[in-house]
Structure 1
Amino acid sequence: MSEHIITVAGVAVDTRHWIGGERVASTQTFEDVSPIDGSTIGDISRGTAMEAAAAVAAAKAAFPAWAATSRAERARILHAIADGVEKRIEELAIVETIDNGALLRSHRRGVMPRVAHNFRFFADWLLSLEHEDFETRGHTNHVSWDPAGPCVLITPWNAPLMLATWKVAPALAAGDTVMLKPAEWSPLTASLLADIAAEAGLPAGVLNVVQGYGSEIGDALTSHPDVRRISFTGSVPTAKRIAESAAANLTPLSLELGGKSPLLVFADADLDLAVDLAVQQYDNAGQVCLAGTRLLVEEAVVEEFTRRFVEKASALKQGDPRDEATDIGPNIHPRQLEKIDGFVQRAVAAGARAVIGGHRGDGQYYAPTLLTGVAQDSEIVQEEVFGPVLTLQTFTDEEEAVLLANGTRFGLAATVFTGNRERAERITARLVAGTVWVNCFFVRDLQAPFGGSRLSGVGREGGTWSFDFYCDVKNTVTAPSGWRNHG
């Protein structure tokens, strides 16, 4: 076996880049460590500006042929990739669990099947993508979606393959070529995706996977003049740096960034439902951008809500994510754990009270935490923690509820629990958020627009919105007469 192949739970993973249909090694590597126990998984090729340039060149060379490939053929290949994912769900699930610490049961039952669905959905949407022609003073307007060119896709570590394919699938369907840069803390399933895509018949250079640090290979990719689209999911500071790099070339950006989402519970809500879904905000050890981390509860029911919440949250089992009985796994990295604990300890020092949790566990585990006694302008309320930490505040009426809910710099999502339809309509109309759930949570349809407001992002993707971003949308206007050849 090659020195560049590592074995993860019996699955062979190539640690090199995938550029132009070939495996390419770097002279330097970085260590990939499992958050489960801190063990070293392997040494991964560490890309630089040289690998970035090679990937862009490969994507640029492959673009004309892929862009000219028929919609039907592109869709066929995307379905073949989905077939390959479905054949390897178990392998992808265990590798990603070891690499990023998320629950194996979730990877098996939800996340990896969603990866395959991402490819199937955008393949099918491509075949139905159209805009009805319309007339202007007798002239015909025809709207079309032309492939834009090479795309840089930079993806996060909290749901590595699912969030990567949420970008890769529409970009490939649109006829673009791709340079995928996975997060350095969870790079392994992106490498497996390259294998699956090649086996499915995706032409060389259409998908390239490059690994490394954002400050090294990431900056080189986002500042390259031959890149025509950049899509990024991650933190606000990194997004600002990417935007600066893209500005010199006016490269269009799609940015899905942090969240500090409110979860509002009115006195007339189904409290059992509200509590159940509030506890679900600890999913993936709190490493979910959409999580409703700010619980806003009407004063009349806060005591009962808190009692039920504590009872249910205290029953959660934290431990090895490979265990089917585990509810909460580890946080991704020691640096992230330090960040989480820093937020909590500063909040407690400022007067907050930890109703549950408020401390580290063993290794890279952080106890599910609920903080009360927090001020609206406090750091813990205003800044994204990205860990299993929720805050609880109260309100007395709708006006105060909306004021608190909208009272941060973010606007990714919001969740509202109420038994009154008219109230739900009033509240949701005033919330600043890209997605609002009413009496439910995390119901996602790929045809819906997805993105954030304020510091939570720029742009929308999903359904036709994805093709609007990954394509150059063209309008062709044709006069009703003047044809010399009527054949």
Structure 2
Amino acid sequence: MNEHRITVAGVAVDTRHWIGGERIASAGTFTDVSPIDGSALGEIARGGPAEAAAAVAAAKAAFPGWAATPRAERARILHAIADGVEKRIEELAIVETTDNGALLRSHRRGVMPRVAHNFRFFADWLLTLDHEDFGTRGHTNHVSWDPAGPCVLITPWNAPLMLATWKVAPALAAGNTVVLKPAEWSPLTASLLADIAAEAGLPAGVLNVVQGHGSEIGDALTSNPDVRRISFTGSVPTARRIAESAAANLTPLSLELGGKSPLLVFADTDLDLAVDLAVEQYDNAGQVCLAATRLLVEESVAEEFTRRFVDRATALKQGDPRDEATDIGPNIHSRQLEKIDGFVQRALASGARAVIGGHRGDGRYYAPTLLTDVRQDSEIVQEEVFGPVLTLQTFTDEDEAIRLANDTRFGLAATVATGSRERAERVTARLVAGTVWVNCFFVRDLQAPFGGSRLSGVGREGGTWSFDFYCDLKNTVTAPNGWKNHG
């Protein structure tokens, strides 16, 4: 029996780090626990400064060879990784559901296919990446994207593999090497990704995976002078610490942070569509950074909207995420559950009213909650809860709706429900958000820029924007008549 291998839902997972093409153990471990029932899944290698240094050194050593690999060959290997993901979709889905509690049906049908698509998209985009040459007083300007170097990618627990590969795929496509640090609450599919990448022929050291607590390994990764890019998805306080750590080396950062996004419901909308959009915000037990947790509803339709919303929301089935009939699973960790309940109880104590929910369920489940009678300056309206908790406020006209929508420190996303194209154009032009959806939600195309405004982030990734971040852009200017021969 391999002491460093656990079995999760019938799938073998190595619990060690993946550094320089080898499995590396640590002296210490941490316990990975399933949010479904609180059971211990296994002991995971707990990295620290030594493992961080080893992983960055491996990435640095592998960088020249991978950077010099022709684009077509890099793309071929990325497609091979996608092939490996597709062959193991069922295994990846059940392991991630067990590890982070998200719905198995979503992992099977949407999330894991998207993981494979992440690799295919950036492999294909790499082969088309180009900028037309342009002239300056007879001289020729040629723009190129040069690999930047080792990248540290720090990813969250709410969609572990999908969000990790959203960063890993473009970083590798660009010719960089990677040190991936998954969240300690959901580390298992990152380990499986290392296996898949190795089987696909990715050279040793090009992708490294180190596990551990951010407080113990994070600074050693982000302060390393050999790291040339850092991409992080997570909380604002952690982002501040990463930025401080990276500042000494002026390491470029891409930060996708929290949100407190609004859903604006105008009286001219299809009300059933608006209710569907609102109920969708409970997806993944509310653990979605893009979720429109602030429902802003035009006063004249607020009563009817609320009635229909309650009918729909109370029909949702909360339970085991492995059950195909389940709509809402557990929250990730007991600490997260405490945080969610703290927000709700403080709001209720301050005068908010729970239309539905407002309390815990069994285990790590929190009842889907809708709070009304909330003040705009209250904590529950201004701060990210990251749980199945929505607030409802009313407005009387467009100006008030936009004022309420923009009145937070965040600017990640916004959703607008209206039957008027003209109103949609007016309103979206005035909203502060990195992404705005009109009469839809969570439609994502990898060629679009993605990121947030204000405290919701720094920079944009997606399509060419990803390569702009993961590369050093170079402009080569050539004189027309400087050649001694024409051979």
TM-score scaled by length of structure 2: 1.00
CA distance in 2, matches of 1:354, 1:126: 50
After superposition, the CA RMSD in angstroms is 0.3
Cα deviation per residue 1:169-209 (whole Å; 9 max; x = unaligned)? Answer: 00000000000000000000000000000000000000000
Please give the secondary structure, in 2, of the residue aligned with 1:143: strand
Please give the secondary structure, in 2, of the residue aligned with 1:460: coil
CA distance in 2, matches of 1:277, 1:402: 19
Aligned-pair CA distance for 1:30: 0.3
Cα deviation per residue 1:436-473 (whole Å; 9 max; x = unaligned)? Answer: 00011111000000000000000000000000000001
Cα deviation per residue 1:254-286 (whole Å; 9 max; x = unaligned)? Answer: 000000000000000011101011100000000
Cα deviation per residue 1:132-170 (whole Å; 9 max; x = unaligned)? Answer: 001111111100000000000000000000000000000
Please give the secondary structure, in 1, of the residue aligned with 2:474: strand
Partner residue, 1:190: 190
Cα deviation per residue 1:207-254 (whole Å; 9 max; x = unaligned)? Answer: 000000111111100000000000000000000000000000000000
CA distance in 1, matches of 2:417, 2:318: 27
CA distance in 2, matches of 1:367, 1:135: 62
Cα deviation per residue 1:333-378 (whole Å; 9 max; x = unaligned)? Answer: 0000000000000000000000000000000000000000000000
Cα deviation per residue 1:100-154 (whole Å; 9 max; x = unaligned)? Answer: 0000000000000000000000000000000000111111110000000000000
- Gaps of at least 5 residues in structure 1 are none
CA distance in 1, matches of 2:43, 2:313: 37
Aligned-pair CA distance for 1:64: 0.1
CA distance in 2, matches of 1:482, 1:42: 66
Please give the secondary structure, in 2, of the residue aligned with 1:237: helix
Partner residue, 1:205: 205
Aligned-pair CA distance for 1:313: 0.2
CA distance in 2, matches of 1:225, 1:7: 37
Aligned-pair CA distance for 1:482: 1.4
Please give the secondary structure, in 1, of the residue aligned with 2:57: helix
Please give the secondary structure, in 1, of the residue aligned with 2:201: coil
CA distance in 2, matches of 1:6, 1:115: 23
- Asked whether 1:445 is paired with 2:438, we answer no
> Quick one: percent identity of the two aligned structures?
90
CA distance in 1, matches of 2:263, 2:73: 44
CA distance in 2, matches of 1:28, 1:451: 36
Partner residue, 2:229: 229
CA distance in 2, matches of 1:10, 1:324: 19
Of the structure 1 ranges 416-425 and 358-367, higher mean CA displacement relative to structure 2 is found in 416-425
Please give the secondary structure, in 2, of the residue aligned with 1:251: coil
Partner residue, 1:301: 301
Aligned-pair CA distance for 1:327: 0.2
CA distance in 2, matches of 1:97, 1:442: 20
Partner residue, 2:6: 6
Of the structure 1 ranges 155-164 and 418-427, higher mean CA displacement relative to structure 2 is found in 418-427
Partner residue, 2:59: 59
CA distance in 1, matches of 2:43, 2:270: 50
CA distance in 2, matches of 1:289, 1:139: 47
Partner residue, 1:417: 417
Aligned-pair CA distance for 1:303: 0.4
CA distance in 2, matches of 1:486, 1:106: 60
Q: How many residues align?
A: 487
CA distance in 2, matches of 1:265, 1:285: 22
Please give the secondary structure, in 2, of the residue aligned with 1:170: helix
Please give the secondary structure, in 2, of the residue aligned with 1:308: helix
Cα deviation per residue 1:309-329 (whole Å; 9 max; x = unaligned)? Answer: 000000000000000000000
CA distance in 2, matches of 1:262, 1:480: 55
Aligned-pair CA distance for 1:54: 0.2
CA distance in 2, matches of 1:278, 1:378: 21
CA distance in 2, matches of 1:402, 1:485: 64
CA distance in 2, matches of 1:10, 1:98: 11
Please give the secondary structure, in 1, of the residue aligned with 2:249: coil
CA distance in 2, matches of 1:56, 1:34: 30
Partner residue, 1:363: 363
- Following superposition, which runs of at least 4 residues in structure 1 exceed 3 angstroms of deviation? none
CA distance in 2, matches of 1:324, 1:104: 7
CA distance in 2, matches of 1:262, 1:485: 64
Aligned-pair CA distance for 1:45: 0.2
CA distance in 1, matches of 2:422, 2:35: 46
Please give the secondary structure, in 2, of the residue aligned with 1:120: helix
CA distance in 2, matches of 1:329, 1:33: 15
Please give the secondary structure, in 2, of the residue aligned with 1:466: helix
Cα deviation per residue 1:357-406 (whole Å; 9 max; x = unaligned)? Answer: 00000000000000000000000000000000000000000000000000
Aligned-pair CA distance for 1:32: 0.2
CA distance in 1, matches of 2:459, 2:465: 9
CA distance in 1, matches of 2:435, 2:147: 28
CA distance in 2, matches of 1:216, 1:134: 49
CA distance in 1, matches of 2:384, 2:295: 14
CA distance in 2, matches of 1:304, 1:380: 24
Aligned-pair CA distance for 1:485: 1.4
CA distance in 2, matches of 1:297, 1:432: 18
CA distance in 1, matches of 2:399, 2:9: 53
Please give the secondary structure, in 2, of the residue aligned with 1:429: helix
Please give the secondary structure, in 2, of the residue aligned with 1:12: strand
Please give the secondary structure, in 2, of the residue aligned with 1:405: helix
Mapping 1:253-292, distance limit 5 Å: 253-292=253-292
